[in-house]
A and B are shown apart, each in its own frame.
Chain A
Amino acid sequence: MNVMDPTEVFRQEAAELFEVLEGALLDLGQRPDDRELVDSAFRALHTIKGSGAMFGFDKVASFTHEFETAFDRVRKGEIKPTQELISVALAAKDYIRALIEEPQSTDDIIGEAILDDLKRFVGADVPASAAPAAAPVEVQAESKQAGWQLHLEFETHILRNGSNPLDLLEDLAKIGPCFVVPVTDGVPYLDEMEPEDCYLKWDVTLHAACDKAAIDDVFMFVQDEMKLTLSPLEHAEAPAPLPLFQLLEEEQIPLQPAEMPAPAAEAAPVAPVASEPVKQAASQPEAKREAAPRREDAKRDDRGIATVRVQAERLDELMDRVGELVIAQARLTQLASAGSDLSIKMIAEEIERLASSLRDTTMGARMVPIGSLFGRFRRLVHDLSRDLSKPVEFVTAGEDTELDKTMIECLADPLVHLIRNAIDHGIEDTAARTAAGKTEQGRIELQAVHSGAQVLVTVKDNGGGLNTARIRAKAEEQGLIAPGAALSDHEIHQFLFHPGFSTAQTISALSGRGVGMDVVKRTIENMRGTIDLSTRPGQGTTVTLRLPLTLAIIEGLLIRVGEGRYIIPLSAVEECIELTAEDDRSRGRNFLNVRGKLVPFLRLRQILTVSGTPDQHQKTIIISTGETHVGLVADQIIGNHQTVIKSLSKLHSDVTIFSGATILGDGTAALILDVAQLVALAQSQTEKHISEAA
């Protein structure tokens, strides 16, 4: 077991909270009246502040506090969140992030400038460190006091959040000599008492000539969870205890941290008897006051239970183990079916069922909805749209489409490039849009959908579309094609993926340097995906990424070709049909007639260079990728197989028609056919046939 660095835990937690915060702020820009969003932004801020303080990120905590304070008027509904305010708030979020991630490279001045901006937008009258709503402090800060009379009431759950009131009292005692009296009227009967709740309140007389701010500082990180009443002491020597506590007056003792628990413990059993009426009276308003924040906390708790942070390597290990289990189970099944022992067969079936559900669960644990990725781009669009003064509406769909976590991480950079391109090159400026009779606001759609064994991610803009003539001119200029060469539009567009190719006439900070599309293409191809461009002049461009669901285990169809056995991913299989004698004989045309549609087919015996005579009744497996259907001719279809994908080693990286290997029930290895590569092969062969014929 390795112990995680607590700071690292905080960083991870903060990263998630930043996502929530950013999402809420961006949504707020569109729906300024949504109270729920303001609240969720505040919750995120508050947690960052609290945990930041806990892990020693003092700068983070104090800046976040200022941020929270300045933003408080928004929460109270006094002012509406304007676009400018959202932008500043986003900048503040970035600053906090920088404080956490690279504290050396940040400068306090930036923080101050952001806070000044914030204050300007929310109104200059917000005091720098006014306590948030929960702490109604009405006392004017007189610079020098003889001392302060404090009444502290914490919310009952304060201990669960990791705060310790006793530590705070200790801090308070550092300011000056304190007299602390616990107030026990809130303590319930023993059998009603929650051991983890805090029922005590405190009256503190602080004999120190200090600013109110100094006291506020002590309670900075808990002030939303407590009620702090402050009143200045008239004279230094006369602490004025409240009449209710006169009985206890002689017990007033100077604060000694070590003794603090003692009065609490002693007071507990006495309290119910001594102060029953008081307790009744006190609990009523308290209940009301706490109703709202409690609801908030309940939500927070739910989230805490719903997710557990697990290191990715552990998930990978788990996947490996499950993979081995599935292989062992396949062997057991084979053994059981060969024998005649019914009870063994039953166990084998049971284990098969369990292994398959365990596999699904484990795989599910690795799957992450793509929405977590989409969220990041909203900020990108927001900033780009502001920087380029092109109003852009950003629409996402299919956020709950799930992909393997590693895939999602690999997708981030390519999508950033595509979205930048769409805004920078795709969407025209406002004048051009108005002239073309379009809405002033551009539109970018980011969408993810499952399609068979693949996930399609599309980035679609409603801009001007690709300028085919200009791409062609550029390609000719760079000597990529001969002038006047006959090329289809689709072929010309492919030059966009050429390294160093850019048609942007001015190089902006964002795009036009010609790095990008080739990198995007390479990244997607490394993921065994494909990228496709389609455009309609004046109406926009759509970039489609087709990604395989690269998962560790798939359902496969086991087939036999000659002596060898191969796996075809079942998700790609459309249907299996028998190759008719007529189709088999016609060597000239490798096409099948499937319900009136022509489907090209490949003879696997040829591709896999199998010698000998084929079986008499050849079978055809119709596979599909996207729109294309191809038939694969095999000797025998054996059946379904739970396939644990093992990658092929580097020594076989030159073999493209196999996407991996797996281990069969009898312990031999079988190769997994790469459907996309086979389809490409079929297409190139068909083209070759046609060109040879012509």
Chain B
Amino acid sequence: MTEGLKTAGEHDATAMQVVMIGLGEEKFALDAGLVREIIDPVPVTKVAGARSFVPSVINVRGNVIPLADLRIRFGMQQVDNSADTRIVVIEIEIDGEPVLVGVTADKVYEVTEISQANVQQTPRVGMHWKPEFIRFITKWREEFVIVPNMERILN
């Protein structure tokens, strides 16, 4: 599958395979290359004393991995799990080592392609998010979507 994605991406040098997820009112596009799997919500275990954006750990097929909450990083309201809630397991590098992290998503829309040609300048004003958390903002079906910088967010 990964193979297929790569070939598809080569059609257009500026195209990017992403997994479109919803957090609160916003849509985020996660680089499909980072995503390992998408699972239904599982019971979480709270880690006392951990930083607020990685409050817990979960068991994903025999591995205990941290569960990150991007909503906290983006200052959004926390909502209870709904029927649409999913956990997106991504692999990122922390201090040069690959680490699996689960990310809670209010909804997972689809795997799609966005074009980096439509990249918008990240506005300096009018945003209540730290600019360093955002790789870029682009347009997708007449909507603005945020491509987050996961390494920065989780470090």
B54 touches A651 (CB 8 A): yes
The residues of A that contact B68 with a CB separation of less than 8 Å are 651
- A650 with B45, Cβ < 8 A, contacts A663-B59, A669-B58 known: no
- A648 with B57, Cβ < 8 A, contacts A609-B48, A655-B50 known: yes
Among B46, B48, B58: residue with most chain A CB under 10 A:
B48
How near does chain A come to B1, taking the closest CB pair, in angstroms? 25
- A654 with B48, Cβ < 8 A, contacts A667-B59, A669-B57, A669-B64 known: no
A646 touches B101 (CB 8 A): no
Q: How far is the CA of A311 from the CA of B69 in the complex (A)?
A: 40
- A667 with B95, Cβ < 8 A, contacts A324-B62, A657-B49 known: no
Q: How far is the CA of A669 from the CA of B63 in the complex (A)?
A: 9
A327 at interface, CB cutoff 8 A: yes
Chain A interface residue count, Cβ-Cβ cutoff 8 angstroms: 27
How near does chain A come to B92, taking the closest CB pair, in angstroms? 10
A669 touches B59 (CB 8 A): yes
Contact of A649 among B45, B49, B51, B100 (CB under 8 A): B100
A257 at interface, CB cutoff 8 A: no
Chain B interface residue count, Cβ-Cβ cutoff 8 angstroms: 26
The residues of A that contact B65 with a CB separation of less than 8 Å are 649
Q: How many A-B residue pairs have C-beta atoms within 8 angstroms? Tell me.
A: 74
A303 at interface, CB cutoff 8 A: no
B43 touches A661 (CB 8 A): no
The residues of A that contact B66 with a CB separation of less than 8 Å are 648-649, 651-652
A2 at interface, CB cutoff 8 A: no
How near does chain B come to A542, taking the closest CB pair, in angstroms? 35
**Residues from 34 to 62 in B contacting A, C-beta threshold 8 Å:** 42-43, 45-51, 54, 57-59, 62
A663 touches B94 (CB 8 A): no
- A671 with B101, Cβ < 8 A, contacts A646-B63, A648-B57 known: no
A564 at interface, CB cutoff 8 A: yes
Interface of B is mostly: strand
B59 touches A655 (CB 8 A): no
- A668 with B59, Cβ < 8 A, contacts A650-B97, A650-B99, A651-B66 known: yes
Contact of A668 among B43, B47, B51, B62 (CB under 8 A): B43
Query: Which of chain B's residues has its CB closest to A645's CB?
Result: B64
The residues of B that contact A667 with a CB separation of less than 8 Å are 42-43, 59
- A652 with B57, Cβ < 8 A, contacts A564-B45, A661-B45, A670-B45 known: yes
- A649 with B43, Cβ < 8 A, contacts A654-B50, A667-B59, A668-B59 known: no
Query: Which of chain A's residues has its CB closest to B57's CB?
Result: A669
B15 at interface, CB cutoff 8 A: no
Interface string of B65-81 (1 = CB under 8 A from A): 11010000000000000
Interface string of A644-680 (1 = CB under 8 A from B): 0010111110111110011100111111000000000
B154 at interface, CB cutoff 8 A: yes
The residues of B that contact A669 with a CB separation of less than 8 Å are 45, 57-59, 64
The residues of B that contact A654 with a CB separation of less than 8 Å are 49-51
How near does chain A come to B61, taking the closest CB pair, in angstroms? 9
The residues of A that contact B47 with a CB separation of less than 8 Å are 648, 652, 655, 658, 671
B99 touches A327 (CB 8 A): no
A327 touches B62 (CB 8 A): yes
A608 at interface, CB cutoff 8 A: yes
The residues of B that contact A648 with a CB separation of less than 8 Å are 47, 57, 64, 66
How near does chain B come to A663, taking the closest CB pair, in angstroms? 5
**Residues from 594 to 618 in A contacting B, C-beta threshold 8 Å:** 607-609
Contact of B62 among A655, A663, A666 (CB under 8 A): A663
The residues of A that contact B42 with a CB separation of less than 8 Å are 667-668
The residues of A that contact B94 with a CB separation of less than 8 Å are 649-651
Query: Which of chain A's residues has its CB closest to B51's CB?
Result: A654
- A655 with B99, Cβ < 8 A, contacts A649-B66, A663-B59, A669-B58 known: no
Q: How far is the CA of A671 from the CA of B64 in the complex (A)?
A: 10
Q: How far is the CA of A655 from the CA of B64 in the complex (A)?
A: 15
The residues of A that contact B101 with a CB separation of less than 8 Å are 649, 651
Query: Which of chain B's residues has its CB closest to A663's CB?
Result: B59
The residues of B that contact A327 with a CB separation of less than 8 Å are 62
The residues of A that contact B46 with a CB separation of less than 8 Å are 564
How near does chain A come to B24, taking the closest CB pair, in angstroms? 22
Q: How far is the CA of A652 from the CA of B52 in the complex (A)?
A: 11
Query: Which of chain A's residues has its CB closest to B94's CB?
Result: A650
A651 touches B64 (CB 8 A): no
Q: How far is the CA of A447 from the CA of B64 in the complex (A)?
A: 37
- A661 with B51, Cβ < 8 A, contacts A649-B100, A652-B57 known: no
- A671 with B99, Cβ < 8 A, contacts A324-B62, A646-B64, A649-B66 known: no
Q: How far is the CA of A564 from the CA of B45 in the complex (A)?
A: 7
How near does chain A come to B87, taking the closest CB pair, in angstroms? 13
19 contacts between A and B (CB under 8 A): A608-B48, A648-B47, A648-B64, A650-B94, A650-B95, A650-B97, A651-B51, A651-B54, A652-B47, A652-B54, A656-B49, A657-B48, A661-B45, A661-B57, A663-B64, A667-B59, A668-B43, A668-B45, A668-B59
Q: A655-B50, A668-B59, A669-B58 given. 16 additional CB < 8 A pairs?
A: A607-B48, A608-B48, A650-B94, A650-B99, A651-B99, A654-B49, A655-B49, A657-B48, A658-B47, A663-B59, A667-B42, A667-B59, A668-B42, A668-B43, A669-B57, A671-B47
Question: Across chains A and B, which 10 residue pairs bring their CB atoms closest together, nearest first?
Answer: A661-B64, A608-B48, A646-B64, A669-B45, A668-B43, A651-B66, A650-B94, A669-B59, A651-B54, A669-B64
On A, residues with C-beta under 8 Å from B are 323-324, 327, 564, 607-609, 646, 648-652, 654-658, 661-663, 666-671
